[in-house]
A and B are shown apart, each in its own frame.
Chain A
């Protein structure tokens, strides 16, 4: 069965610091990859997704993620975080042929102004 690991459970940064959140998955075949974000008091929403093509995917609010197939990774990055990026971030993977997306346990990001 597919598993998704988000190794950083809690990350605390100051504004303007660079961000990288790790996401690794176990299934070696074709995958669709997602990052979701949940801001305090808000609904879970899609940040970005990868299906095929350019492995560097750009999402909303200056976020990007890079799919590295050889490392089974889909890390989320942002060059300069803002206080408003404080949120819970979830990586999700949809394995080829499956209808069931598998979510990681999430990373809580706190950005100090």
Chain B
């Protein structure tokens, strides 16, 4: 079974530039999560989708971050414009559970390491 795919694996940009990350979840998984993991901290949930609807985006900085999950499969996370403090690893995870309660096992991708200069 293929795992969660993410691209790119690494990205270096200058502040005020834009960047986009892509995630392809495990086939058939209803729920998709985007996390931000700053160095030395645990993952922080940014947004959670159930199929193509948003379950929770209360921790997403909506003035600069946006995410979409078209057709309930792939998802993109965008930052525009980037700030220095956005330097982090962005993790995508998916779970089979369609309830949206995050209780089902989450399968994580390899992450995208973003450096903002």
Binding site for B on A (CB under 8 A): 4, 32, 43-46, 49, 51, 90, 92, 94, 99-101, 103-106
Contacts and interface: CB of A to CB of B under 8 A. Distances in A.
A87 B4 CA distance: 20
B110 interface: yes
Contacts of A44: 43, 91, 93, 108
A9 B101 CA distance: 29
27 contacts: A43-B3, A43-B111, A44-B43, A44-B108, A45-B107, A46-B106, A51-B103, A90-B42, A90-B43, A92-B42, A94-B101, A94-B102, A99-B48, A99-B56, A99-B100, A99-B101, A99-B102, A100-B56, A100-B58, A100-B59, A100-B102, A101-B45, A101-B102, A103-B44, A105-B41, A105-B42, A106-B42
A105 B39 CA distance: 9
B108 A43 contact: yes
B109 interface: yes
B45 A45 contact: no
B55 A103 contact: no
Interface string B75-102: 0000000000000000101000000111
Nearest to B35: A103
Given A43-B111, A104-B42, 18 more contacts: A32-B102, A32-B103, A43-B4, A43-B108, A44-B91, A45-B107, A46-B105, A90-B42, A90-B43, A92-B42, A94-B103, A99-B48, A100-B45, A100-B58, A100-B102, A101-B102, A105-B41, A105-B42
Interface of B: 3-4, 40-45, 48, 55-56, 58-59, 91, 93, 100-103, 105-111
A100 B3 CA distance: 23
| 3 smallest beta-carbon distances between A and B, as pairs | A103-B42, A44-B108, A99-B56
A92 B106 CA distance: 12
A43 B110 contact: yes
A44 to B, nearest CB: 4
A104 B56 CA distance: 20
Contacts of A101: 45, 102
Nearest to B38: A105
